[in-house]
Amino acid sequence: MLYPSIDKLTAQVESKYTLVTVASKRARQLRENNNLQLDKPRSKKFVGQALEELISDKLTYENNEVRKSL
């Protein structure tokens, strides 16, 4: 995976473990509801789309609860 880079992603979250948890929860939400916040994502896979939402500040998290930014 080239985009978004792991360095930029870890700058937005506390740790790699938090990043994995947030991305997996959001990917599951995308798979079940198909409510993508991006207009044209680069990735076709749900995990990649979740990471793109996180890097573009369309996705926030709080105490392991994933929330969409409005």
In the prediction, which pLDDT does 56 show? 86
In a domain, 69, yes or no: no
**Residue indicated by tokens 């979250």:** 13
- Burial profile 16-34: b = 16 or more Cβ within 10 angstroms, e = fewer: eeebeebbeebbebbeeee
**Mean pLDDT of the 5-33 span:** 88
In a domain, 35, yes or no: yes
What is the tens place of the pLDDT at every residue in 25-70? 989 998 998 877 777 888 888 888 888 888 888 877 776 566 665 4
In a domain, 37, yes or no: yes
Domain range for residue 11?
6-64
User: Do residues 27 and 69 make contact, with C-beta atoms less than 8 angstroms apart?
Assistant: no
Tally of domains in the chain: 1
